[in-house]
Amino acid sequence: MAQVTLQTNGQVCPFPLVEAKDTMASLATGDELVINFDCTQATDAIPRWAAENNYPVTDFSKIGPAEWSITVRKA
Amino acid sequence: MLISGLFVGMALGFVMQRGRFCVTGAFRDVWITRNTRWLTAFLVVVAVQSVGIFALDAAGVISLNSGPFPWLATIVGGFIFGFAIILAGGCATGTYYRAGEGLVGSWLALITYALFAAVMKTGPLSGFNTSMRSVTVEQSNFYSVLNVSPWIFVALLVVGVTLAVRHHLNKPRFKLAAPPASKTGLAHLLFEKPWNAFATAVVIGLIAIAAWPLSWATGREAGLGITTPSSNAVNYLVTGDPELVDWGVLLVAGILVGSYIAAKGSGEFRIRVPDAATVVKSLGGGALMGIGAALAGGCTIGNAMVETAQFSFQGWTALVFMILGTGAGARLTIMNRRSSSGSGPANVPARAAALS
């Protein structure tokens, strides 16, 4: 199992999600993708994308003001 | 009474920020992910507002009337505006509330949006704007052309939107992940909990209804509007004429204040400076937003949300062409970028650090 970190800070919606989808496509089943983001709208868009694709969210935390990190497992 | 504009704006900015209510996203999702969840939420606002304003009209509190329909300017302006909000990363209200979240890109888009709205409405391009908008047809709204009661259209819209909401609510429920809660009670609800899109839309619809009689009471006979107030704010700043500070100017100022309070209160405010490419897109997108909204006679709020609730041809035509414009913008910027940057393993190491 590999863990890949995607840094999207500074990018606004929809790019954090666009990049997450692209990176996820390159991962193997069971790999984890850590997405760091600071676009507020992505707090809705990314967990929704994970839920709709049945990707488990193993961690979702607020790191600081307008800064989040979410870990999604490819399943 | 003018001060009520500030409070309505604050409420709107607060609710939009906390509800992540983004019209650009709603239109864009239709093209990129074929998802109509946010577009449906947007139409909930229109339907709720429609019921309220025709009731206010019937009660004699306000009187709704649409002028001739400037079809050419509405089509061209709506398309330009739709394209521009993709570049700017948010429509007019979206740009206002993201500015309140501390996004410097939105500050820049806001400045050129307001400036170019003024250039078009009262500045050097006002002649062009007026001549484009003088191409009109007399018929202005659906119910007067058919000579029927507006309530028929209100009922059709409410039924249609209800069916669409039911379609979305009937989908299997997902448990959405959220960061662990750190607040409780009202503070959790207001400043932490993710809000439901449709509940947010109903609240925005109620705010949009309240805007009518409150604005009317100050002599500004309209509902929510963003473009003309933004243009007035620019004109006020350069002329100092206090007459220009009407209910609408306080409304847009209130959106900034309200979204700042919401973002600050929920730990979502931080000044974020974009990269050079985003700066260029924000400035250009903002300018085109000002030009498009002035031509079309309104932005996603004035036209797509308020004129539509009155069933005017201008509102619905602008809505359709704004959605088409966002489609063109999305194809050029988002999908294009995706294929040019390539997808797959090749581009991962460049942006991501692999750990094992």
Q: Do B272 and A10 touch (CB under 8 A)?
A: yes
The C-alpha of A75 sits at a distance from chain B's nearest C-alpha, in angstroms, of: 16
What pLDDT sits at residue B346? Answer: 38
What pLDDT sits at residue B144? Answer: 92
β-bridge pairing A3-7 and A32-37: parallel
Q: Do A66 and B334 touch (CB under 8 A)?
A: no
Q: Do B176 and A25 touch (CB under 8 A)?
A: no
Query: Among A4, A6, A13, A27, which one carries the catalytic annotation?
Result: A13
Residue with tokens 């909000």: B85
- Does B20 contact A at CB distance below 8 Å? yes
What pLDDT sits at residue B337? Answer: 64
Residue A14: which pLDDT band, with cuts at 50, 70 and 90?
confident
Choose the closest CB to A10 out of B22, B90, B275: B275
The angle at the Cα of B51, spanning B10 to B71, to the nearest 5 degrees, equals: 85
Choose the closest CB to B179 out of A40, A61, A65: A61
The C-alpha of A45 sits at a distance from chain B's nearest C-alpha, in angstroms, of: 10
- Does A43 contact B at CB distance below 8 Å? yes
Whole-number Å distance between alpha carbons of B34 and B39: 11
**Average model confidence (pLDDT) across chain A:** 92
The span from the first CA to the last CA of chain A, in angstroms, equals 12
Choose the closest CB to B25 out of A13, A67, A68: A13
CB < 8 Å to A16, chain B: none
Whole-number Å distance between alpha carbons of B39 and B42: 5
Task: Determine whether A13 is an active site residue.
Answer: yes
What pLDDT sits at residue B319? Answer: 97
Q: Which two tokens stand for residue A72?
A: 């999604």
Q: Do A47 and B105 touch (CB under 8 A)?
A: no
Q: Which two tokens stand for residue A47?
A: 């967990």
What pLDDT sits at residue B343? Answer: 42
- Does A75 contact B at CB distance below 8 Å? no
Length in residues, chain A: 75
- Does B272 contact A at CB distance below 8 Å? yes
CB < 8 Å to A57, chain B: 177
Q: Do A66 and B343 touch (CB under 8 A)?
A: no
Q: What is the mean pLDDT of each run of 10 residues along chain B (356 residues)?
A: 96 97 94 93 98 97 92 98 94 93 96 98 98 94 94 98 96 86 93 94 98 97 96 98 97 98 96 93 97 96 95 97 96 71 40 38
- Does B270 contact A at CB distance below 8 Å? yes
What pLDDT sits at residue A38? Answer: 93
Predicted confidence (pLDDT) per residue in A28-54, tens digit: 999 999 999 999 999 999 999 999 899
Q: Do B334 and A18 touch (CB under 8 A)?
A: yes
Choose the closest CB to B105 out of A7, A12, A38: A12
Counting other chains too, the contacts that A13-18 makes at CB distance below 8 Å and 24 or more residues apart are: A13/A39, A13/A41, A13/A42, A13/A45, A13/B22, A13/B25, A13/B89, A14/A45, A14/B25, A14/B28, A14/B32, A14/B334, A15/A39, A15/B334, A16/A42, A16/A45, A16/A46, A17/A42, A17/A45, A17/A46, A17/A49, A18/B334, A18/B337, A18/B338
What pLDDT sits at residue A11? Answer: 83
The C-alpha of B231 sits at a distance from chain A's nearest C-alpha, in angstroms, of: 26
DSSP 8-state class, residue B32: H
Give the predicted TM-score (pTM) of the model: 0.92
Helices (H), B122-226: 126-133, 142-146, 150-169, 185-191, 197-217
- Does B350 contact A at CB distance below 8 Å? no
The ipTM value here is 0.90
What pLDDT sits at residue B339? Answer: 53
Q: Is pLDDT of A4 > 70? A: yes
